[in-house]
Protein backbone atom coordinates (compact mmCIF):
# COMPACT_ATOMS: atom_id res chain seq x y z
CA UNK A 1 0.00 0.00 0.00
CA UNK A 2 2.79 2.42 0.88
CA UNK A 3 4.49 1.41 -2.33
CA UNK A 4 1.32 2.31 -4.26
CA UNK A 5 1.20 5.75 -2.64
CA UNK A 6 4.91 6.19 -3.31
CA UNK A 7 4.44 5.24 -6.94
CA UNK A 8 1.68 7.82 -7.33
CA UNK A 9 3.96 10.47 -5.86
CA UNK A 10 6.89 9.49 -8.07
CA UNK A 11 4.69 9.61 -11.16
CA UNK A 12 3.26 12.99 -10.19
CA UNK A 13 6.76 14.28 -9.44
CA UNK A 14 8.09 13.15 -12.81
CA UNK A 15 5.27 14.98 -14.57
CA UNK A 16 5.30 17.95 -12.20
CA UNK A 17 1.60 17.37 -11.45
CA UNK A 18 0.28 18.50 -8.07
CA UNK A 19 -1.47 16.19 -5.59
CA UNK A 20 -4.17 17.05 -3.10
CA UNK A 21 -3.30 14.94 -0.07
CA UNK A 22 -6.45 14.01 1.84
CA UNK A 23 -7.89 11.73 4.47
CA UNK A 24 -11.55 12.11 5.35
CA UNK A 25 -11.58 15.61 3.81
CA UNK A 26 -13.34 16.97 6.91
CA UNK A 27 -11.01 19.98 7.00
CA UNK A 28 -11.13 20.92 3.33
CA UNK A 29 -12.23 24.42 4.38
CA UNK A 30 -8.98 24.97 6.30
CA UNK A 31 -6.33 26.72 4.23
CA UNK A 32 -6.45 27.57 0.54
CA UNK A 33 -8.11 25.32 -1.99
CA UNK A 34 -5.78 22.95 -3.86
CA UNK A 35 -6.90 22.20 -7.39
CA UNK A 36 -5.18 18.90 -8.00
CA UNK A 37 -5.59 15.17 -8.28
CA UNK A 38 -6.53 13.75 -4.85
CA UNK A 39 -4.16 11.37 -3.09
CA UNK A 40 -6.46 9.58 -0.63
CA UNK A 41 -4.62 7.87 2.25
CA UNK A 42 -7.73 6.34 3.85
CA UNK A 43 -7.05 2.87 2.52
CA UNK A 44 -3.86 2.77 4.62
CA UNK A 45 -5.65 2.24 7.87
CA UNK A 46 -5.42 0.35 11.16
CA UNK A 47 -3.58 0.26 14.46
CA UNK A 48 0.02 -0.94 14.03
CA UNK A 49 0.88 -1.22 17.70
CA UNK A 50 -0.74 -0.18 20.94
CA UNK A 51 0.80 -0.81 24.31
CA UNK A 52 -1.25 0.92 27.01
CA UNK A 53 1.47 0.53 29.65
CA UNK A 54 3.93 2.32 27.32
CA UNK A 55 1.45 5.18 26.76
CA UNK A 56 2.12 4.93 23.03
CA UNK A 57 -0.05 4.09 20.04
CA UNK A 58 1.21 3.68 16.47
CA UNK A 59 -1.45 3.99 13.80
CA UNK A 60 -1.64 4.19 10.04
CA UNK A 61 -2.49 7.69 8.88
CA UNK A 62 -5.74 6.71 7.19
CA UNK A 63 -7.24 5.30 10.40
CA UNK A 64 -10.50 7.06 11.31
CA UNK A 65 -10.11 9.25 14.35
CA UNK A 66 -13.20 7.59 15.84
CA UNK A 67 -11.46 4.22 15.65
CA UNK A 68 -8.31 5.51 17.34
CA UNK A 69 -10.29 7.15 20.12
CA UNK A 70 -12.44 4.06 20.63
CA UNK A 71 -9.37 1.83 20.82
CA UNK A 72 -7.87 4.08 23.48
CA UNK A 73 -11.11 4.45 25.42
CA UNK A 74 -11.31 0.65 25.79
CA UNK A 75 -8.13 0.91 27.87
CA UNK A 76 -9.26 4.07 29.61
CA UNK A 77 -6.81 6.26 27.68
CA UNK A 78 -7.22 9.19 25.32
CA UNK A 79 -5.69 11.56 22.78
CA UNK A 80 -5.22 14.27 25.37
CA UNK A 81 -4.94 17.12 22.84
CA UNK A 82 -8.59 16.50 21.89
CA UNK A 83 -8.35 16.85 18.11
CA UNK A 84 -11.46 18.53 16.73
CA UNK A 85 -13.88 16.41 14.69
CA UNK A 86 -15.59 18.89 12.38
CA UNK A 87 -17.47 16.07 10.64
CA UNK A 88 -17.56 12.30 10.90
CA UNK A 89 -14.85 10.40 9.02
CA UNK A 90 -11.76 12.45 9.85
CA UNK A 91 -8.47 10.52 10.00
CA UNK A 92 -5.61 10.57 12.47
CA UNK A 93 -3.33 11.67 9.62
CA UNK A 94 -5.51 14.71 9.03
CA UNK A 95 -5.63 15.47 12.74
CA UNK A 96 -1.83 15.58 12.89
CA UNK A 97 -1.29 17.32 9.54
CA UNK A 98 -3.72 20.10 10.45
CA UNK A 99 -2.04 20.64 13.81
CA UNK A 100 -5.33 21.56 15.47
CA UNK A 101 -6.03 20.83 19.12
CA UNK A 102 -9.11 21.10 21.31
CA UNK A 103 -10.06 22.56 24.69
CA UNK A 104 -7.62 20.44 26.74
CA UNK A 105 -4.67 21.93 24.83
CA UNK A 106 -4.23 24.66 27.47
CA UNK A 107 -3.47 22.06 30.12
CA UNK A 108 -1.69 19.23 28.33
CA UNK A 109 -0.20 20.63 25.14
CA UNK A 110 -0.98 20.56 21.43
CA UNK A 111 -0.92 17.72 18.92
CA UNK A 112 2.77 18.47 18.22
CA UNK A 113 3.54 17.83 21.87
CA UNK A 114 2.19 14.27 21.55
CA UNK A 115 3.81 13.30 18.25
CA UNK A 116 6.66 10.87 18.98
CA UNK A 117 7.42 9.71 15.47
CA UNK A 118 6.17 9.52 11.91
CA UNK A 119 6.58 7.42 8.84
CA UNK A 120 6.08 9.52 5.74
CA UNK A 121 6.59 9.78 2.01
CA UNK A 122 8.43 12.87 0.85
CA UNK A 123 7.84 14.62 -2.47
CA UNK A 124 10.21 12.19 -4.22
CA UNK A 125 8.26 9.20 -2.94
CA UNK A 126 10.95 8.17 -0.42
CA UNK A 127 9.61 6.12 2.48
CA UNK A 128 11.09 7.81 5.58
CA UNK A 129 10.85 7.42 9.35
CA UNK A 130 11.62 10.10 11.91
CA UNK A 131 11.38 10.04 15.68
CA UNK A 132 10.19 6.75 17.09
CA UNK A 133 7.94 5.16 19.68
CA UNK A 134 9.68 6.41 22.79
CA UNK A 135 9.09 9.52 24.91
CA UNK A 136 12.63 10.81 24.77
CA UNK A 137 14.50 10.89 21.52
CA UNK A 138 16.96 13.54 20.40
CA UNK A 139 18.62 11.68 17.51
CA UNK A 140 18.59 14.08 14.55
CA UNK A 141 16.31 17.06 14.02
CA UNK A 142 12.71 16.78 15.21
CA UNK A 143 11.22 16.26 11.76
CA UNK A 144 8.18 14.41 13.11
CA UNK A 145 6.99 17.46 15.08
CA UNK A 146 7.69 19.61 12.01
CA UNK A 147 5.04 17.55 10.18
CA UNK A 148 2.35 18.43 12.73
CA UNK A 149 0.53 21.40 11.25
CA UNK A 150 2.45 21.35 7.95
CA UNK A 151 -0.84 20.59 6.16
CA UNK A 152 0.73 17.85 4.09
CA UNK A 153 2.97 20.31 2.26
CA UNK A 154 6.24 18.60 3.29
CA UNK A 155 5.24 14.97 3.00
CA UNK A 156 2.44 12.45 3.11
CA UNK A 157 2.09 10.97 6.59
CA UNK A 158 1.64 7.20 6.51
CA UNK A 159 2.15 6.13 10.13
CA UNK A 160 2.17 8.13 13.32
CA UNK A 161 3.24 7.29 16.86
CA UNK A 162 1.54 9.33 19.54
CA UNK A 163 1.88 9.63 23.26
CA UNK A 164 -1.44 8.93 24.95
CA UNK A 165 -2.63 9.66 28.48
CA UNK A 166 -4.98 8.04 30.96
CA UNK A 167 -8.47 9.52 31.04
CA UNK A 168 -8.99 11.62 34.14
CA UNK A 169 -10.75 9.81 36.97
CA UNK A 170 -13.11 12.72 37.52
CA UNK A 171 -14.24 15.91 35.81
CA UNK A 172 -16.41 18.83 36.83
CA UNK A 173 -17.44 22.07 35.18
CA UNK A 174 -18.08 25.37 36.96
CA UNK A 175 -19.90 28.41 35.63
CA UNK A 176 -19.18 32.03 36.55
CA UNK A 177 -20.59 35.33 35.38
CA UNK A 178 -17.98 37.89 34.48
CA UNK A 179 -17.20 40.37 31.71
CA UNK A 180 -14.40 39.67 29.20
CA UNK A 181 -11.51 41.58 30.78
CA UNK A 182 -12.30 40.24 34.26
CA UNK A 183 -12.64 36.70 32.92
CA UNK A 184 -9.23 36.87 31.22
CA UNK A 185 -7.59 38.20 34.37
CA UNK A 186 -9.38 35.72 36.64
CA UNK A 187 -8.69 32.57 34.65
CA UNK A 188 -5.00 33.49 34.36
CA UNK A 189 -4.78 34.03 38.10
CA UNK A 190 -6.34 30.61 38.68
CA UNK A 191 -3.99 28.99 36.19
CA UNK A 192 -1.05 30.26 38.24
CA UNK A 193 -2.28 28.19 41.17
CA UNK A 194 -2.00 24.41 41.47
CA UNK A 195 -5.57 23.73 40.36
CA UNK A 196 -6.46 20.92 37.91
CA UNK A 197 -7.98 23.24 35.27
CA UNK A 198 -8.20 21.39 31.94
CA UNK A 199 -10.29 23.77 29.80
CA UNK A 200 -11.96 27.14 29.85
CA UNK A 201 -14.48 28.93 27.65
CA UNK A 202 -15.86 32.46 27.81
CA UNK A 203 -18.76 33.83 25.82
CA UNK A 204 -21.25 36.63 26.42
CA UNK A 205 -20.30 37.30 30.02
CA UNK A 206 -20.16 33.64 31.03
CA UNK A 207 -16.99 31.76 31.94
CA UNK A 208 -17.00 27.96 32.06
CA UNK A 209 -14.08 26.15 33.65
CA UNK A 210 -13.47 22.42 33.47
CA UNK A 211 -11.49 20.60 36.15
CA UNK A 212 -9.99 17.15 35.53
CA UNK A 213 -8.01 14.77 37.67
CA UNK A 214 -8.24 12.64 40.77
CA UNK A 215 -11.68 12.88 42.37
CA UNK A 216 -10.29 14.43 45.55
CA UNK A 217 -8.39 17.06 43.60
CA UNK A 218 -11.41 17.99 41.48
CA UNK A 219 -13.71 18.20 44.50
CA UNK A 220 -11.32 20.33 46.53
CA UNK A 221 -10.80 22.68 43.54
CA UNK A 222 -14.56 23.05 43.11
CA UNK A 223 -14.84 23.99 46.75
CA UNK A 224 -12.06 26.56 46.43
CA UNK A 225 -13.29 28.19 43.22
CA UNK A 226 -17.01 28.42 43.99
CA UNK A 227 -19.22 29.23 41.01
CA UNK A 228 -22.18 27.21 39.87
CA UNK A 229 -21.79 23.48 39.12
CA UNK A 230 -22.79 22.59 35.54
CA UNK A 231 -24.12 19.05 35.24
CA UNK A 232 -23.61 16.92 32.14
CA UNK A 233 -21.06 19.32 30.73
CA UNK A 234 -19.52 16.69 28.46
CA UNK A 235 -21.81 17.63 25.58
CA UNK A 236 -20.90 21.26 26.02
CA UNK A 237 -17.14 20.64 25.79
CA UNK A 238 -17.71 18.34 22.82
CA UNK A 239 -19.56 21.16 21.04
CA UNK A 240 -16.62 23.50 21.70
CA UNK A 241 -14.10 20.95 20.54
CA UNK A 242 -15.97 19.98 17.36
CA UNK A 243 -17.34 23.44 16.56
CA UNK A 244 -20.92 22.27 16.70
CA UNK A 245 -21.74 24.99 19.27
CA UNK A 246 -24.04 27.71 17.90
CA UNK A 247 -21.24 30.29 17.94
CA UNK A 248 -19.23 28.40 15.32
CA UNK A 249 -22.18 27.66 13.02
CA UNK A 250 -21.97 30.80 10.98
CA UNK A 251 -21.53 31.76 7.34
CA UNK A 252 -19.62 34.87 8.26
CA UNK A 253 -15.81 34.88 8.40
CA UNK A 254 -14.53 33.03 11.48
CA UNK A 255 -11.12 34.15 12.73
CA UNK A 256 -8.85 32.17 14.98
CA UNK A 257 -6.80 34.69 16.95
CA UNK A 258 -3.93 33.20 18.93
CA UNK A 259 -2.45 35.59 21.52
CA UNK A 260 -0.61 35.46 24.85
CA UNK A 261 -3.21 34.37 27.41
CA UNK A 262 -3.13 37.68 29.29
CA UNK A 263 -3.49 39.85 26.17
CA UNK A 264 -6.04 42.61 26.63
CA UNK A 265 -9.42 42.32 24.86
CA UNK A 266 -9.24 42.57 21.07
CA UNK A 267 -11.84 45.34 20.94
CA UNK A 268 -13.00 44.41 17.45
CA UNK A 269 -16.61 44.41 16.29
CA UNK A 270 -18.48 41.09 16.19
CA UNK A 271 -18.88 38.11 18.48
CA UNK A 272 -16.17 36.37 20.42
CA UNK A 273 -15.54 32.96 22.01
CA UNK A 274 -12.45 32.67 24.20
CA UNK A 275 -10.67 29.40 25.03
CA UNK A 276 -7.35 28.24 26.41
CA UNK A 277 -7.26 30.56 29.39
CA UNK A 278 -7.41 33.59 27.10
CA UNK A 279 -4.83 32.36 24.58
CA UNK A 280 -7.33 31.43 21.84
CA UNK A 281 -9.93 33.96 20.74
CA UNK A 282 -12.42 32.97 18.09
CA UNK A 283 -13.94 35.96 16.38
CA UNK A 284 -16.87 36.26 14.00
CA UNK A 285 -16.42 39.67 12.49
CA UNK A 286 -16.93 41.79 9.45
CA UNK A 287 -13.69 43.63 10.20
CA UNK A 288 -11.18 43.35 7.36
CA UNK A 289 -8.13 41.10 7.50
CA UNK A 290 -5.71 43.95 8.00
CA UNK A 291 -7.58 45.17 11.09
CA UNK A 292 -7.86 41.72 12.65
CA UNK A 293 -4.22 40.90 11.96
CA UNK A 294 -3.04 44.25 13.30
CA UNK A 295 -4.97 43.68 16.55
CA UNK A 296 -3.45 40.19 16.91
CA UNK A 297 0.06 41.41 16.17
CA UNK A 298 -0.23 44.33 18.58
CA UNK A 299 -0.89 41.75 21.30
CA UNK A 300 2.01 39.49 20.33
CA UNK A 301 -0.08 36.96 18.42
CA UNK A 302 -1.36 36.06 14.98
CA UNK A 303 -4.69 35.57 13.21
CA UNK A 304 -5.93 32.81 10.91
CA UNK A 305 -8.96 33.22 8.67
CA UNK A 306 -10.23 29.86 9.86
CA UNK A 307 -13.45 29.62 7.86
CA UNK A 308 -15.48 31.69 5.46
CA UNK A 309 -12.63 33.39 3.61
CA UNK A 310 -13.14 34.95 0.18
CA UNK A 311 -10.46 32.80 -1.45
CA UNK A 312 -8.24 35.87 -1.93
CA UNK A 313 -7.39 36.95 1.60
CA UNK A 314 -4.44 34.89 2.87
CA UNK A 315 -5.75 32.33 5.38
CA UNK A 316 -2.58 32.23 7.45
CA UNK A 317 -0.81 35.16 9.02
CA UNK A 318 1.97 36.47 6.75
CA UNK A 319 5.49 35.43 7.76
CA UNK A 320 8.50 37.75 8.15
CA UNK A 321 10.90 37.43 5.17
CA UNK A 322 13.67 35.57 7.08
CA UNK A 323 11.18 32.94 8.29
CA UNK A 324 9.59 32.67 4.84
CA UNK A 325 13.01 32.02 3.28
CA UNK A 326 13.51 29.09 5.65
CA UNK A 327 10.01 27.80 4.88
CA UNK A 328 10.68 27.98 1.15
CA UNK A 329 13.98 26.14 1.47
CA UNK A 330 12.42 23.44 3.69
CA UNK A 331 9.67 22.94 1.14
CA UNK A 332 12.25 22.58 -1.61
CA UNK A 333 14.22 20.01 0.40
CA UNK A 334 11.21 17.82 1.21
CA UNK A 335 9.19 18.38 -1.95
CA UNK A 336 11.56 19.59 -4.68
CA UNK A 337 8.91 19.38 -7.43
CA UNK A 338 6.37 21.33 -5.38
CA UNK A 339 3.64 18.72 -5.87
CA UNK A 340 2.31 18.18 -2.33
CA UNK A 341 -0.64 20.41 -1.48
CA UNK A 342 0.92 23.41 -3.22
CA UNK A 343 -0.45 26.71 -1.97
CA UNK A 344 -2.60 25.20 0.74
CA UNK A 345 -0.71 27.05 3.47
CA UNK A 346 1.09 29.88 1.66
CA UNK A 347 1.18 30.51 -2.05
CA UNK A 348 5.00 30.31 -1.91
CA UNK A 349 4.94 26.77 -0.53
Partner 1 sequence: MDRVNTQSLTKSTGATLPGIDPDRQIDVVSRLRERLPAEAVLYRPEDTRPYECDGLSAYRELPLAVVLPANEEEVAFVLRTCHEMMVPVIARGAGTGLSGGALPAPDSVLLSLAKMNRILAVDPVARIARVQPGVRNAAISDAAKPYGLYYAPDPSSQIACTIGGNVAENSGGVHCLKYGLTVHNVLRVRGYTMAGDLIEFGSEALDSPGYDLLACVIGSEGMLAVVTEVTVKLIPLPETAKVILASFDDVRKASDAVAAIIAEGIIPAGLEMMDQPATRAVEDFVHAGYDLDAAAILLCESDGTPEEVEDEIVRMEAVLRREGATNLRVSRDESERIRFWAGRKAAFPAVGRISPDYYCMDGTIPRKRLGEVLLFIAEMERKYGLRCPNVFHAGDGNLHPLILFDANDPDQLHRTEAFAAEVLQKCIEVGGTITGEHGVGVEKLNQMCLQFSSEELERFHGVKRAFDPQGLLNPLKNIPTLHRCAEFGRMHVHNGQLPHPELPRF
CB–CB of 102/240 below 8 Å?
Answer: yes
- What is the DSSP code (8-state) at residue 125? -
Q: Which of residues 307-346 bind partner 1 (CB under 8 A)?
A: 316-320, 322-324, 326-327, 329-330, 332-334, 345-346
Q: Of these, 126, 205, 206, 235, which contacts partner 1 (CB under 8 A)?
A: 126
CB–CB of 171/231 below 8 Å?
Answer: no
Does 261 bind partner 1 (CB under 8 A)? Our answer is: yes
Least distance (Å) between residue 12 CB and partner 1: 18
Nearer to partner 1 by Cβ, of 89 and 314: the residue is: 314
Question: Exposed, middle or buried: residue 89 (CB in 10 Å: 0-12, 13-18, 19+)?
Answer: middle
Least distance (Å) between residue 89 CB and partner 1: 25
Least distance (Å) between residue 282 CB and partner 1: 14
b/e sequence 39-69, b meaning 16+ C-beta within 10 Å: bbbbebbeeeebeeeeebbbbbbbbbbeebb
Cα-flanking dihedrals φ and ψ of residue 79, to 5°?
-80, 105
Stretch that binds partner 1, among 63-71, 190-198, 225-233, 284-292 (CB under 8 A): 190-198
Does 44 bind partner 1 (CB under 8 A)? Our answer is: no
Q: Which of residues 133-152 bind partner 1 (CB under 8 A)?
A: 133-143, 145-146, 148-150
CB–CB of 303/314 below 8 Å?
Answer: no
Q: Of these, 259, 283, 284, 295, which contacts partner 1 (CB under 8 A)?
A: 259
If binding means CB under 8 A, how many residues of this protein chain bind partner 1? 84
Does 265 bind partner 1 (CB under 8 A)? Our answer is: no
CB-facing half-sphere around the CA of 31: CA atoms within 13 A: 28
Does 112 bind partner 1 (CB under 8 A)? Our answer is: yes
Nearer to partner 1 by Cβ, of 29 and 316: the residue is: 316
b/e sequence 196-222, b meaning 16+ C-beta within 10 Å: bbbbbbbbeeebbbbbbbeeebbeebb
Least distance (Å) between residue 147 CB and partner 1: 9
- Give the closest residue to 254 by CA, choosing from 310, 312, 319, 294: 310
Does 239 bind partner 1 (CB under 8 A)? Our answer is: no
CB–CB of 273/208 below 8 Å?
Answer: no
Q: Which of residues 21-40 bind partner 1 (CB under 8 A)?
A: none
Does 298 bind partner 1 (CB under 8 A)? Our answer is: no
Beta bridge partners of 281: 257, 274
CA atoms of 99 and 110, how far apart (whole Å) = 8
Cα-flanking dihedrals φ and ψ of residue 14, to 5°?
-65, -30
Binding mask 59-98 for partner 1 (x = CB under 8 A): -----------------x----------------------
Phi-psi map region of 267: left, alpha, beta (phi>0 left; psi -120 to 50 alpha) = left
Stretch that binds partner 1, among 45-53, 173-181, 235-243, 247-255 (CB under 8 A): 45-53
Does 254 bind partner 1 (CB under 8 A)? Our answer is: no
CB–CB of 97/147 below 8 Å?
Answer: yes
Does 54 bind partner 1 (CB under 8 A)? Our answer is: yes
Does 165 bind partner 1 (CB under 8 A)? Our answer is: yes
Does 166 bind partner 1 (CB under 8 A)? Our answer is: yes
Stretch that binds partner 1, among 23-31, 198-206, 255-263, 282-290 (CB under 8 A): 255-263
Least distance (Å) between residue 82 CB and partner 1: 14
Amino acid sequence: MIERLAETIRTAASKGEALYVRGGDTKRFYGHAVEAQPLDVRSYSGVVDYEPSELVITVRAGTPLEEVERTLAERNQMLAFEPPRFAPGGTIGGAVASGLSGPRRQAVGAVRDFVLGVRMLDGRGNDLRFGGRVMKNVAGYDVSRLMAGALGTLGVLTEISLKVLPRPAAEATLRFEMPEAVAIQTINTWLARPLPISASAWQDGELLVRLSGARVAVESACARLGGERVDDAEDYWRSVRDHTAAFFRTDEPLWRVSVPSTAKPLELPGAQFIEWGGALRWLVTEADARTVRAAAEARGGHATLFRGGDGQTPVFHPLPPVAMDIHRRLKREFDPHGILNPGRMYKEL
